[in-house]
Structure formats: C-alpha cells, structure tokens
Structure 1
Amino acid sequence: MFNFYKLQLALKNTWVRIGLLLLTASLVAWIALGSQTGQDTSPIVRSQDISEITGLVAKRDKLDYLLIARPLSDAPRYIYKFKDSAQLHVVKVPSTSHINLEREVLLRNGLPYAIARDDYLASHKAVLQDEGGAMAGVSSFVQRHAFDIFLVVLLLFVLKFGIPGMGLSASVISPDKLKGSMDDLIGMEDIKQEVLHLEDMIRNRAVYKQHNIDKPFNVMLTGPAGTGKTKLAGYLAKRLGYPLIQASGSALESGYIGGGSKALNALYRKAAARGNCIIFLDEAQALFMPRGRGEKKWEDDTANTLLGLLDGVKSDEGKGVIWVVASNFDEANSQMDEAMLRRFSVKINFRLPNKGEREQLLRSFLQRKEEGLVDWNDMDLAQVAEITNNLSPALLETVVDRASLLSIQEKTVINTDLMFRAFERATIGLTDRATTAEKTRQRERIALHELGHFFMQIDPYLREGLSLAEVKEKSHLLKISTESVSKLNALGYVLSAGDDMSLRTLEEMERDVMQLYGGVAAEELFYGARGISVGSQNDIQKATSMLDMMVNRLSMYSRSKLDYSQFKSELSGEHTLVQVEAKADELYSDTLKAIGDYREVMDGLKDVLMEQYVLSKDQIFALLEERLDPEPLRLAA
C-alpha cells in the first residue's frame, strides 16, 4: 500500500508541492483526454445522446445500417455504422424515448432500420454491456466529471499539505549568521543570570540527570513588547552553537483543522534532523490561552500538538531540540493554560528597564553614531532617562533614531533638547499649528482644559506647603501645547514624562483621577455646567476605568477585600456601580473646588498660551513665580 506519510516527509519545499499539484492536474486531464480520444480509436463508441439519432436524418447518405437491439427492454440500444468508418455507434435510450424516436424520426422520415437479430447480438456481445464494462465506465465517468475530479483532488491536496506558498514560513539560521551577543542586553543583569543558568543546564545535561532532571529544557519568555525576547533567543543559540529555526505563532492560525498541527510537526522534524537545534516560536500568546474557550477547534488542536512536542519523544530523535516560546503576556496578568505552563521548566520574565538601565541604553545607542554627530557636552542623559520612563529598549532606540532624523533635517547635532523633541515626536506624533490657528474659541477652551490637568497635577504639592521650586522638581510636566495632534485626534495636549504605575496607593490613584477630571472641571469653571465639551470624553473613560479598578477589583473602599468583578450577580453589579458613582461624584466635586483657587492665574496663563501656542515646563513655572502665591493654598488645605 502506498505510504502517504513518507510522501509527506519528502515534500520539503514549496516547489515539490507545486510539482505534485501540476502532476495531479495533468493526470486528471490526461485521463479525460484519453477518454475523448478513445472515441476515435475504439471499435465501439457509446453515448446516451438522443440527438445523435435525430441527426441521422441529415446523414442518411453516409449511413451503412441502423439497428435497434432489444426494443422491448427498459433501455433499447440504437446501433448504427457509417460507410466510411469501422466504428460502431451505440446509443442507449429509455424505452419511452425509443417509442417517440421510432414514430417521430425513423418512420416519419423514412429512415431505414431493422431489429438486431440474435445471431448479430451473439457476435457483438459488447454492444449490450452497460457502457462497455468497468473500464469503459470509468473512462466515461472521468470524461463527464473531469473538472469535478480536479477540484476534489485539489481540495485533498490542500487539506493534506496546505496551499503552496501559504504555509508556515520558518528559515534555519546557522550560529555563524546570528548577530549580537549577551553584552547587547544593556543592564538586565537578572535576566542574563537566568540565561547563563539555562545555558549551563543544556551544556551539562549529564550532571542534571544525576538529580533525575532529564526532561526537555523548554523555555518560556514573557514580558512587554520590545524588551529583547527575540534577540535573547538568537544570543542563546549563538552561545550554544545551535542552529535557530524562527517562526511566528500567528502563522499557525491556518483557518482549517490540522493546519497549525502540521506546521508544528514540520518545524519539529526540521529541527530534529539537525540534532541540536533551537525552535523559537515568537508572538505565541494565543497558544497559552485556556483550551476549549471558543468554537475554533483548530486552535485547540494546535495547542494540543505543541503540548505533545514540548514533552519530547521517547526515542533519541528529538533529544537535542529546545523550544523557546515567547509571549507578551504572563500568568500574572493573563489566564493561561495550566498544562501548557507545566511544560516549561524555565521561565524568564522580561521587564521594562529602570532609570539607570535606560540611561545606559540611550548612551549605547548614541555611541553607535559617528563621532561629531552627538554633542556630549550638551547631553544630559539622566534627564532624558527620566522623561522616558516606562519605555521599552525598542522604543528608546526609536527615540534615538527619531533624534537622528531631526538632526539630519535641521543640519544640527544631537543634544538634550533634540532628544526631548524626538521623544515627543515618537510618543505624540506630528503636531500642527495651522489647524488650530483660526479656531480662537476652541484654542481658548483647549488652553483652559490642558491647564486644568496641569494644576490638578501640582495641587497636592502646593497644599502640602512645598515651594514652587520643589513642586517643579516633582512635576512630570514637559510642556503644554494648543497645537493639534493628528495621531491623538486632539487639538491640544499636556506632555508629561512617564510615571511608574506599579504599586500605586489609594491616595495616589485618587490624585490620578482628579488630575483626569482637571480638564472637564476647568471647562465647567469658566463655561458653566452646560458648557462642558465632548473633548473630555477620553479623560472620563480613563477615570471610569480607574474607579472601576479601585472599587470593583481592588475593593479599596471596603473592609471586605474582594474582587467584585468575579461575581456575576446583578445585585453585586448594582451595588458596586453605586459605589463607583458616589466616589466619582466626590472626587469630581473636590476637583471643581480645588481648581477654583487657580481661576485668576489660569486666566492669565491662558492668554500667554494662546499667544505662544506652546509653553515649556521652565516657562510655566517662571510665570507661576510671578503670578501665584502658594501660601493661601497651604492654609486652606
């Protein structure tokens, strides 16, 4: 019996698949053509086309003879032969059609015919066989259904081997072609130690086997995008001297059952054939989701196949294969399949760089540029690292690249100011002053709205009695602008340095909500409750999300520390909604009251902002030194 599995192993590239597809199509076409040409060479030509009989009237001069075999049966045969041909034409017709043909065609047109005698039928037995036996039946069937057969064969081919050119794209990269090294992971010393430990486990398997640790060292890399997971897989392969097979998890979503499984098995066979090899599956978070969550059965099939492959094989075939699977999520912030997690003996969680590491990364990126392009005497990397909080290494590199573009366009060197502008361009996008130039009333509203956010940011510090210099030091503000930003679909913005959002306290989160409410409160302060614009929509959405977390998920206002979002009861939902509304009303009222103390100074700053479009942090605090007396605020607190 033909072994299709061995055939599948032989199909190692797209061209072989295409060749098989063309061969199949050619075979079907050849069979169909053979049945057609057979009509010209076979002694008997069969048909069920009644029009052949009616057409004999016009060909009566060429007709040698016309016989009717078994006219009283359910399926009489018309047998005719032309004078200049050795072929017999046999037309099989139903009995009812025979009666009409005999009366309306043969007799009416005087076409001579006879009833076939028994001795004639005995000498021409093939005439009465249905379509001339099995082989003739197959030929006739193929002739009539050649296109249908081609479609069926094509469908079977696609289901078994996939569409040529549409399969999982995975190239094998030899260790000498891999670039970079572990030194390129600036900082991240904790992650480097994990990798070195993993390397030791792989190199010294015999030592670990003494402790009965002999399972595959599958590696799970998790963490935010742009933190170096992909690079790390390459560094590991290079250090070990292993070839790397890299593929994307999204490419496994073939859309038909078994497609992802076949792709994974193909990856495994390709790796196993090389002995020691690393398979790096990137962007594979979908495979870690709990199985049985949806109607797409192929997703579970793909995950089940990966589970089996991660377990390794009983033979020595795949003992050198190491799976490194990367995901932007981890079990701490997303529900994952427990069976999948158990397959990974090593888990390395990437994090965003801290301030010191950001400074090292920025210095490393800038040092790669030719000498003279960076003004190191006018470069405060500590300040740049401060404003780029919560940016990944990839985004930090984007900021540096953006600084280079600005440097080229403006024919200047890269300094601190240019890095600030590059950060703004990379995070905010292009700004346009012309869009808001003629919209005086809208610009005025935008100016007041953005100033409202700023004053609610510094309000807690002023009420604590800090000096303006101390407040400036604590403030994350970079600038306030009334220029439009197409990326944000906004007519103005407040640009602030990133703030570490981990381990926020209740008090800090309430301040964040009040800062969000600062814009809409400023609009109500100057235009009244009915003068609030739709520009506050994004602020209100963010505030609602934070309040929902504080009340429902963190239970910050209840002695019962429960995650109310897990309760599906309508009563619990109504109860927490009442709490959210009450807290939102309280915080907004406090915001409106607090911002009223800044009305006069806000009105003055608004006029300056309208004139200059943009005010930097230094400019704003210089104006506050002239126009704001913080003492009454401290006394009112």
Structure 2
Amino acid sequence: MSSQKKEISEDKFFALLAQEKIEDVMVYRDNFSADVFLNQSAKAVAKTTEKENSNPFSSIDSGPKADYTMKYGELQLFLQKIDIEKAKNPKITATVDVGNATNVFESILIQILIGLVILSVIYFFLFRKMGSGGGPGGQIFSIGKSKAKLFDEKDKMNVTFKDVAGLEGAKEEVQEVVDFLKNSEKYTKLGGKIPKGVLLVGPPGTGKTLLAKAVAGEAKVPFFSLSGSDFVEMFVGVGASRVRDLFAQAKAKSPAIIFIDEIDAIGRARGKGGMQGGNDERENTLNQLLTEMDGFGTDVNVIIMAATNRADILDKALMRAGRFDRSIHVDLPELHERRAIFDVHLSKIKLEENIDREFLAKQTPGFSGADIANLCNEAALIAARNSHESVMKQDFLDAVDRIIGGLEKKNRAIKPSEKKRVAYHEAGHAAISWLVEHAAPLLKVTIVPRGRSLGAAWYLPEERQLTTTDQMYDELCALLGGRAAEQTMFGNVSTGALSDLERVTKQAQAMVTIYGLNEKVGNISYYDSSGQSEYSFNKPYSEETAKMIDQEISKIVEGQYQRALHILHENRDKLDALAGKLLEKEVIFREDLEDIFGKRAWDPELTEKPVSNATNAVVEEVVQAPDSATQL
C-alpha cells in the first residue's frame, strides 16, 4: 500500500470530486481508508510540499504514489455519496476501486517476526529458567534427580536416642550401625564388613521412622531421607534414574545413611503386580535398587535403612543377606515401654500433680507410640475445652474413651424400646464376661451413643503372648453375650450384634484354619506367612475340606452361643438388675457388677485393688455398620 502524510477530510474529498480534480479513488475495506489520486491538471496547480513516506516497504510498491489519504465511515454509504456526485455532474470521470490495504508480503514478514519473538520467550523461560531447576516447572530437566532430603552439617538432625522411648531391643541393634559409622576401623581390622542394609519392620506408629532419624542424629553423618513413592513417576526410566542419582550422592558424601520409608512402594515382589508383566516401571526401579545395593564395596561407608509394615510382600532378592543384612522388628510397646513413652510426651504438657504414669500405661495395652502421642494431645485439648488449669487424670480417661469409642453423642434420639434393648445387650456382655473365667475383666459399660455405636463395654485385656483354647472359647462366649441377652429377654434378636458376629466369625475361623485348635480338622494350618497366597486363586484345601471347615466354624460359634444362653438363663434375675441399673445411670462401673454378681472367685487380686472408671479397649459395640472401632 502507498500512503502520503497529507490527510484530507471526507468533505474536502467531495469538494475536490465536485471540482473534477480527482482521477482515481482506491477504497480499502479492511481499514476504512482511501487513497486519492488527482488528475494531471489538478497536480499542476497543487502545491505538493509533502515529503515521501518513510515506510520501509514503500520501495516494493508497484503502483503510483497517492496524492491524499482519507478516512471514511461506512463503506456502502461512502460509495453511494460518490455515485450521487457523479449523477449530479456527468463530467466527473473519477474511477473507484475497492480492495484491501494489507500487503501480502508485508503480512508474512510480520507473522514471521511474531513467531520469532514467541520462540525467543519460550527458549528463555524453558531452557534458562526451567532448566536451572527454579520455579514450579524446574523438574522438567531434573526429573531423573533424586528427591531425597539431605540432613548434614548445614541442616542437622536433632533427634537422638533420648527422644526414642521404649524400643530398647531395636536401639541396641541399631547402636552397632552408629558405632560402625563413627569407628569403622574397630570392625574392619578384625575382618568384619559393613552391614549394607537394615530393615525396620513393625506395625504403623511404632517409631520406625523416628528410630532411623535417631540413628542419623547419633552418627552425625549425612542422612538422605525419602519415601518409596518418591521413586515412582509416570515417565519410563525416571525411577531407575532417581535410584542411581541417590546412590551417587550418598557415595560422594560417604560415610552416609540412606533412609527409604515405606519401601514396599517399590520393593513389592516382582511378577505379583497384576497383568502388567515384568517390565513395568516399578519393577525396573526395583531392579536398579538391587543393582546399586550389590554395587557397594566394603570401603564405601554407606548404609541403607528402610522401614515397612508389609515385610511379607517384599521381594526375596531384596531381603537376602548382602542387601538387607539384618531385619529389626519394632513391635508394639510393652507396659514398661509405654510408661517411658508417656514420660517423653507428658514432659511437654502442663499436668496436675501426682499423675500416675504407671496407671496410664496399664490402661493402654495395644497402643503404639503414635497412639500414645495422640492420647496425650487429645487429653490436653479436652482439658483446654473444659477450662482446666492443667491436664488432670480424668482428662486422660476421657481421651481414651474418645479415641477408642468415638465422640459421645448424648443428643442422639433413641426410642425407649431401642434403649432397653441396648441396655440388655450391653448387660449381656458384662454378665458373661464376669461369669466366665478367662474373659477380660470389665471396667465400664455405657448405653450413651458414642461414635457409630449405640452402646459399648470397656475391658482391660490381659497382656499375654500365648492364648489357649479355653481362653478363646470364653472370649467367644462373652462376645455372643449381647445377642444371647436379647434372645433371653425379648425372644428375638436385632442387627445390633454385627460387629460382635464379625469378630466371632474371624476368631472361630482362625481357630480352625490357622491355629490348629479344632479336633476334627486337626493340627493343620493354612496360614501363609510369606503373603504369597493373596495372589493365588486356588484354596490350599479341597472342596470337601472346605465344607468340613465351614461346619466346624459354625459348630464352635453356635456352641458358645448356646453356652451364653444357658449362663444368662441361670442368672436371669441378675441380668435384669444389671440392665435396670444401666437404664437408670446410663454408665456403670465394675463396682456395680460386684454389687450384683459378687466378686470373681478366680480373680482375687483385681477385686482387691479396684480400678476406677478407666477405659482401655472397646470390646463390643452395638452398631449396624460393618466397620468397628473395637479391638481385643
């Protein structure tokens, strides 16, 4: 397009048109402008003082230079005005052409320039910013790098063995690892080799990760900490690359410790992950981990520590000597260990005087270290909610109730008939547990709704390592006492015994198929400690044996149910008295059972030293949902 600097108005244009001075008009529809070309006579008298346009593309224009340029409004209206002027004056010979102002070559060049600018911006941010690792997208070129967090002299690990209460046996074993890292010559001069791997195995919350941190804090060596899931990525080869990078960093900072939490995320047995086959990304990552652990020499002071609660599913190649040389079992804490754990967590809480830590430890069998930490925190919250100046003994007892049984719901509307049934159900449990020898001693019974339950009974189970057949039978009888009480009182049963029946069925099934405690099936166990049976679609016994197992399980359950009915029938008056007291008070304690049933002849020590309204484990719940907060 050609253009002149001099611009005229639309009125001036029509004045020149009327004077017959215009030879040609080029109208551009895309930018509402027009180029005006004067005829020869008009050019001769016109004073053209304008300079030539400095447009860099003017040199490529092939047409003549326009004398004027102008802006118009609506195209059709502008053309109609020109036609009207021509109609008025037939001597007007000006021609009108309509087109577009954009030059094709110029448009292509502009688009190329815009594309170059966009590519420059992409190059700057992608290759300069993202490639350097900064920003949210910095992992595009560092995706194969290890995600392990490093604790060294700059970022020290402050956890020591003093912060790990209990776990005395586990601490003794890992102490040797610390000693080796501090003084390796003591062992190597005798021909000893560094243990390449230490696997911490135990239930959730027992302190496996805390123990690993304490090892790093005591050894004062670089500590690489990450989770097994950090190796997992959607891109092929990323997991193996991260393993290589992790071990390369650890070797560079030797002596060092690598801690992989939840190693079962990548250490699951190969070929057991479904239909993916043997070349999926997780298995490639595991193969690389096995290779790196085998690649360590005796002169490289790098120790691998890992933690899992699913050691049964780990690959056998990972567990062999030379990779994980030792396996340390971190079990649930015993009585004296729970007291030590309470000492650690209670030191951070403002307590009333004379809080008996031994008493708290006795009320929490089966609690892990994490459970005890949660209990102490919950007790502090309850004390603050009740505006106490310090955390009192009752706050801890309420916290145990809250954690095990759930939140108390006093406002839940229950029909009187349902409340009576719940009272007899709970009274049945309490009566049977009091009248049979090996049932756990009862501490408290309530019919106040709590969590998903309409009522609950608390017991203090005995901490034992072995369980006899008679003890299991008594526990089954006590669990069926609730339904038996409903049958005795109302002549029918309800859905409230769902959690009881679930536990009874599992325990009876374990007696027959796992522990070999059934005479007909015999001394046979179908339990697979390796965990491989979960991938098998075949049962380890025939259909005839399966039928016999079902019959024996039913025989055990129904036999204890009839026993519970017989016991309650003989003590009907005491059952009624206990249920009546429950309906009156809603919460009763062991002392109330002593008033009704008398002291237990086979448990004189417990009756001589009564425990107040402490709670420990909810053994029964009246719920209709399959999930239950109960525990033995």
Corresponding residue to 2:293 among 304, 310, 319? 310
Q: 1:294 is matched with which residue: 271, 274, 278?
A: 274
Distance 2:249 2:480 in 1: 57
Q: Does 1:259 align with 2:259?
A: no
Do the aligned residues in 2 keep the contact of 1:248 with 1:284 (CA within 8 Å)? yes
| Structure 2 counterpart of 1:310, one-letter code | M
> How far is the alpha carbon of 1:162 from its aligned partner?
7.2
**Quick one: which amino acid aligns to residue 288 of structure 2?**
T
Q: Alignment RMSD, CA only? A: 4.4
For the pair 1:429 / 2:406, whether they are aligned, the reply is: yes
Residue 537 in structure 1 maps to residue 537 in structure 2: no
Residue aligning to 1:443: 419
Could you say if the C-alpha distance between residues 202 and 564 of structure 1 is closer, same or farther in structure 2, counting changes exceeding 3 Å? closer
- Relative contact order, higher structure (CA 8 A, sep 6+): 2
The worse-fitting range, judged by mean Cα deviation, of 285-294 and 604-613 is 285-294
Match of 1:324 among 305, 317, 338: 305
1:601 touches 1:627 (CA, 8 Å); kept in 2? no
**1:364, CA displacement in angstroms?**
3.7
The one of 395, 409, 412 equivalent to 1:418 is 395
Aligned equivalents of 1:289, 1:251: Cα separation in 2: 15
Tell me what 2:211 maps to. 232
Q: Does structure 2 retain, via aligned residues, the 8 Å contact 1:355–1:389?
A: yes
Say whether the 8 Å CA contact 1:216–1:312 is kept in structure 2. Answer: no
The answer to whether structure 1 residue 602 and structure 2 residue 604 are counterparts is no
Alignment of 1:454-473 (within 5 A): 454-461=430-437
**Residue matched to 2:607:** none
Equivalent residue for 2:511, pick from 532, 541, 550: 550
Flag the 1:406–1:555 CA change in 2: closer, same or farther, 3 A.
same
Q: 1:583 to 1:313 in 2, by over 3 A?
A: same
Partner of 2:449: 484
Question: How big is the shift at 1:550?
Answer: 0.9
Shift of 1:389: 0.5
Report the CA distance between 1:231 and its aligned residue: 1.6
Q: Secondary structure at the match of 1:348?
A: strand
Mapped to 1, the partners of 2:284 and 2:595 lie a distance apart of 64
- CA-to-partner distance for each residue in 1:166-212, whole Å, 9 max, x for gaps? 98463445486322321222233222211222223333434433555
- Secondary structure of the 1:322 match is strand
Select the residue among 308, 312, 335 that pairs with 1:355.
335
SS of 2:443's equivalent in the other structure is strand
Mapped pair 1:586 → 2:564: no
What does 1:181-200 correspond to in 2, within 5 Å? 181-200=160-179
**Structure with the higher helix share, 1 or 2:** 1
Q: Give the deviation of 1:367 after TM superposition.
A: 3.5
| From 150, 173, 184, the counterpart of 1:205 | 184
Q: CA deviation at 1:560?
A: 3.7
Aligned to 2:223: 244
| Helix, strand or coil at the partner of 1:391 | coil
Instruction: Tell me, in whole angstroms, the C-alpha distance in 2 between the residues paired with 1:597 and 1:169.
Output: 66
Report the equivalent of 1:341.
319
CA 1:446/1:272 → structure 2, altered by over 3 Å: closer, same or farther? same
Q: Which amino acid aligns with 2:388?
A: K
Q: Percentage identity across aligned positions?
A: 26
| Aligned match of 1:468 | none
1:63-78 equivalences under 5 Å are none
**How many residues are treated as equivalent by the alignment?**
487
CA distance in 1: counterparts of 2:358 and 2:139, whole angstroms: 57
Q: Decide whether aligned partners of structure 1 residues 199 and 363 sit closer, same or farther in structure 2, where only a CA change above 3 A counts.
A: closer
Give 2:444's aligned amino acid. K
Q: Tell me the residue number matched to 1:404.
A: 380
Distance (Å, rounded) in 2 between the aligned partners of 1:411 and 1:618: 28
Whole-angstrom distance in 2 between the partners of 1:283 and 1:392: 18
CA apart distance, 1:87: 8.6
Structure-2 change in CA distance of 1:249 and 1:482 (3 Å): same
Q: TM-score normalised to the size of structure 1?
A: 0.66
Question: 1:418/1:503 Cα in 2 relative to 1: closer, same or farther (>3 Å)?
Answer: same
Whole-angstrom CA distance in 2 between matches of 1:349 and 1:175? 32
Per the alignment, residue 124 of structure 1 pairs with none
Q: Paired residue for 1:276?
A: 255
Any idea what SS the aligned residue of 2:412 has? helix
Contact preservation (8 Å) 2:435, 2:600:
no
* Match in the other structure for 1:611: 584
Secondary structure, counterpart of 1:325 in structure 2 = strand
Q: Equivalents in 2 of 1:511, 1:324: separation in Å?
A: 43
Q: Which secondary structure state, in structure 1, belongs to the residue aligned with residue 224 of structure 2?
A: strand
Match of 1:134 in 2: none
Q: TM-score, normalised by structure 2?
A: 0.66
Residue ranges of structure 2 left out of the alignment (5+ in a row) = 1-56, 62-111, 128-136, 604-632
Asked if structure 1 preserves the Cα contact closer than 8 Å seen for 2:383 and 2:392, the reply is no
Q: Is the 8 A contact 1:233 1:280 kept in 2?
A: yes
Q: Is the 8 A contact 2:148 2:224 kept in 1?
A: no
CA–CA separation in structure 2 for the residues paired with 1:537 and 1:623: 28
Deviation at 1:534, TM superposition (A): 1.3
**Pick aligned residue for 2:524 from 542, 549, 561:** 561
Aligned in 2, Cα 1:313/1:365: closer, same or farther, shift over 3 Å?
closer
Give distance in 1, aligned partners of 2:599 and 2:526.
48
Q: Which amino acid aligns with 1:429?
A: G
Q: Does 1:382 find its partner at 2:358?
A: yes
- What CA distance in whole angstroms lies between the structure 1 residues aligned with 2:363 and 2:264? 30
User: CA 1:400 to 1:272, structure 2 compared with 1: closer, same or farther past 3 Å?
Assistant: same
Task: Give the ranges of 4+ consecutive aligned residues of structure 1 lying more than 6 Å apart after TM superposition.
Answer: 84-88, 157-160, 564-567
Instruction: Identify unmatched segments of 5+ residues in structure 1.
Output: 1-83, 89-138, 462-470, 631-637
Distance 1:180 1:203, change over 3 A: closer
Distance 1:619 1:415 in 2: 25
The answer to whether structure 1 residue 506 and structure 2 residue 477 are counterparts is no
Give the 3 Å change call, closer, same or farther, for CA 414–85 of structure 1 in structure 2: closer
CA distance, structure 2, for counterparts of residue 501 and residue 262 of structure 1: 48
1: CA distance, partners of 2:302 / 2:349: 39
For 1:255 and 1:498, how far apart are their aligned partners in 2?
47
Deviation at 1:478, TM superposition (A): 2.5
Deviation at 1:397, TM superposition (A): 2.1
Query: Partner of 1:220: helix, strand, or coil?
Result: strand
Change (3 A) 1:294 1:256: farther
Specify whether residues 243 and 615 from structure 1 end up closer, same or farther in structure 2 by C-alpha distance, changes over 3 A only. same
Paired AA for residue 533 in structure 1: S
Question: What one-letter code is carried by the residue in structure 1 that aligns with 2:478?
Answer: Q
Instruction: Choose 1 or 2 for highest CA Rg.
Output: 2
| Inter-CA distance 286–596: structure 2 relative to 1 (3 Å threshold) | farther
CA distance in structure 1 between the aligned counterparts of 2:412 and 2:212, rounded to whole angstroms: 46
